[in-house]
Amino acid sequence: MPSPSANSDATETTASAEPFDGTGNIGPYSWEVLHDGTVFEGGEVGPGEEHPWTGDSSAHPAYAIANTLFEWACETALEQCRDAIVEARVEGRPEPAPVRVLTVRLRDGSGVEVVSMTTRLAYRAITEDDLDEFRDLMAAYAQEAQELEARRRRGEPPPRSPFEWPVLHDDPGGSGAGSVRTDRRDEIGHAPADPRPLNTPTPHQQMVNELREEAHELRDSVQDPEDVRHNLFRAEQRLAEAQTAEREAAATDDDSALTAAADRVARYARRVTYWHTRLADSTETYLQAAALTTEAAYRERELPTS
């Protein structure tokens, strides 16, 4: 049986005869993740497509796909539930009920269930150090927000992000790789504003508003890079701990302990890769949003004054 986590136990797996398409692969399938008997998330994966959580192709055996998804779902539930409880304790709110029983199900293209995996999750105890770590993180976020607000009230621009492009960019092809643009001050006209109803933005101001709204939507579409870095740091710590445990197990004659340690190393290595990918995506998105924000500020400074 698979062992999804050191904090999970009582795993049960059932599998029916796997569909055979000449390659032994499952082909198109549907999947569900259940938390305490209620469907938490699910979907369908078409021929040759990748699973949205794990990246596994449908061109794999059903058991292999389910096993990877099961490990991922267990790790995610354990981390998210524990983080939610830590946050509630620090903020003095009632603690949310953690997920106790997690199930993963796979069905083939005809709707026949081919694999079902279930486990009872057990959570690592939350210590004062965990609570202090969360308080320190929130304090850092609050201090940053206060500094940004103070700068805004003084009429100062926000501090330059280390990820912000040094100059504005154009990307007419939508490829995201746009070329560096030259100064466009001369392109921004100073034509007198036409009479219009009160509170109706000029076309120039409307463009500024749209740029800022687009930047806001981009940032909302991804996780904050700082949060992703925090998760990546934790994943790298766990990988390092798992690698140390693997080396210790290798020094013994316990093959089962070595196998379990190697499985943990592989799992945490996948988690590190996942957060590295998420960091690249969120950073790129924030870069695009920063370019839009810079464009809006630049254009606002050039708004017609008469």
| CA distance linking residue 40 with residue 53, whole number of Å | 13
The distance of Cα 305 from the centroid of its chain, to the nearest Å, equals 43
| Residue 200 binned pLDDT confidence (cut-offs 50, 70, 90) | low
**Ramachandran region, residue 45 (left: φ > 0; alpha: ψ -120 to 50; beta: rest):** beta
Contacts of 134 (CB under 8 A, 6+ apart): 86, 87, 90
> Structure tokens of 246?
């693997």
**What does each C-alpha distance from 207 to 120, 153, 170, 260 come to in angstroms?**
53, 23, 15, 57
Q: In this predicted structure, what is the pLDDT of residue 167?
A: 39
Q: What is the pLDDT of residues 66-103, one digit of tens each?
A: 888 998 889 888 888 888 898 889 888 899 899 999 99
Instruction: Please give the model's pTM, rounded to 2 decimal places.
Output: 0.48
